[in-house]
């Protein structure tokens, strides 16, 4: 499976902070926002990832993350010249996806919870056609809403309904087979003038090929797209990291998955040795008994990633 991170848009809800920078490069406590979705895809075992942004901002993401080799993965970049909705990310990435399955993630989404990596890897392993992730919210009328039966079979999807049929919102993480590209090509713009991801998901639902994975108690999902939610996300990360483990630490994840060596981890930390993030990486590399590689199928039991990496 390949991965796509959509990091485009104007970021108008975060103005004036985004007047000179893409919102997905803003800090969520101690690291850029883009680190969080990238960590999710890495923990899911996805090593080929495309980042989509505006022509003005793509070079900044490339400068920050490079080709991914420092993390033992492959990163590619594409421009979204005009924002026309989430499904556009699929058509932009058509050549990249090819005949593979794909995980599409919005770059302002943050996931955390013990067991999330296992849930995600199982969803990817058992994935057939299309899968969405549902999260219970207090205000479902603000989101796309998924309704399902007692067997967790999807019954309906609605975009920001006045009278929601459930209180489970559809998060910004989606799994698709390669047919999603052609489905996206055939979608018509909504009244907002954009292609809607809910309309794409409804096509799979029509065929009885849409699954839902529910994120229950103990999971956190945040959309850091407003000033308030960005602040709340930073506070959440700060509090959660009090145990001494970092969330969405890409180099740590790469190290424990065996993508990079102990020396590479240390050298990366050395470039930032004057701050807490760099010192954290160096400390991990210096631990005499730290285990470099961990079986991905039991990653949630990892003494470090089980707490620090399961965003």
Residues 7-36: pLDDT tens digits? Answer: 986 556 665 555 456 678 888 998 999 999
pLDDT exceeds cutoff 60 at 293: no
Q: What angle, rounded to 10 degrees, do the helices at 276-286 and 262-270 form?
A: 150
Give me 226's structure tokens. Answer: 């407003």
Question: For residue 274, how many other CB atoms are within 10 A of its CB?
Answer: 8
Higher pLDDT, 285 or 243: 285
Least confident of 128-137, 214-223, 272-281, 287-296: 287-296
What was the pLDDT predicted at 299?
Answer: 56
In this predicted model, what pLDDT tens digit does every residue of 241-264 receive, in sequence order? 888 889 999 999 999 899 999 999
Residue 123 has pLDDT above 90, yes or no: yes
Q: Identify the sign of the CA torsion 72, 131, 77, 229.
A: negative
Across the chain, what does the average pLDDT equal? 88
Where is average pLDDT lowest: 102-106, 133-137, 299-303? 299-303
Buried residues in 33-44 as b, exposed as e (16+ CB within 10 A): bbbbbbbbbbbb
Mean pLDDT of 153-173: 92
pTM given for the model: 0.90
Of these ranges, 222-226, 229-233, 281-285, the one predicted with the greatest mean pLDDT is: 281-285
Question: What pLDDT sits at residue 16?
Answer: 59
Q: What is the pLDDT of residues 180-193, one digit of tens each?
A: 999 999 999 998 88
Share of the chain above pLDDT 70, in %: 88
**Per-residue confidence at 309, pLDDT binned at 50, 70, 90?**
very low
pLDDT of residue 301: 52
List pLDDT tens digits, range 52-69: 999 999 999 999 999 999
Calculate the alpha carbon distances from 170 to 224, 258, 264, 276 in Å. Answer: 15, 32, 38, 35
Instruction: Quote the CA–CA distance of 118 and 96 in Å, as a whole number.
Output: 26
């Amino acid at each position: 499976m390949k991965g796509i991170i959509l990091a485009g848009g104007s970021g108008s809800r975060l103005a004036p902070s985004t007047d000179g920078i893409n919102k997905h490069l803003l800090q969520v406590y101690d690291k850029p926002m883009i680190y969080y979705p990238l960590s999710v895809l890495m923990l899911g075992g996805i090593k080929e990832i495309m980042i989509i942004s505006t022509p003005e901002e793509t070079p900044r993401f490339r400068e920050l993350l490079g080709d991914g080799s420092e993390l033992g993965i492959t990163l590619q970049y594409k421009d979204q010249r005009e924002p026309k909705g989430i499904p556009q990310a699929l058509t932009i990435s058509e050549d990249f996806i090819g005949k593979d399955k794909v995980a599409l993630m919005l770059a302002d989404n943050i996931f955390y919870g013990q067991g999330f990596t296992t849930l995600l890897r199982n969803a990817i392993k058992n994935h057939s056609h299309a899968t969405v992730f549902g999260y219970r919210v207090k205000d479902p009328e603000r989101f796309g809403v998924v309704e399902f039966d007692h067997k967790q079979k999807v019954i309906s999807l609605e975009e920001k309904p006045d009278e929601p049929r459930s209180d489970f919102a559809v998060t910004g993480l989606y799994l698709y087979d390669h047919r999603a590209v052609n489905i996206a090509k055939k979608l018509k713009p909504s009244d907002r003038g954009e292609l809607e991801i809910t309309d794409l998901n409804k096509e799979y639902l029509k065929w009885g090929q849409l699954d839902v994975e529910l994120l229950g108690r103990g999971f956190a999902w945040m959309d850091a797209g407003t000033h308030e939610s960005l602040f709340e996300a930073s506070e959440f990360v700060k509090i959660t990291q009090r145990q001494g483990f970092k969330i969405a630490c890409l180099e740590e994840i790469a190290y424990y998955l065996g993508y990079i060596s102990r020396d590479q981890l240390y050298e990366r930390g050395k470039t930032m040795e004057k701050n807490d993030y760099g010192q954290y990486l160096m400390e991990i590399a210096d631990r005499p008994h730290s285990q470099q590689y961990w079986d991905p199928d039991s990653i949630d039991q990892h003494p470090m990633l089980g707490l620090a990496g399961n965003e």
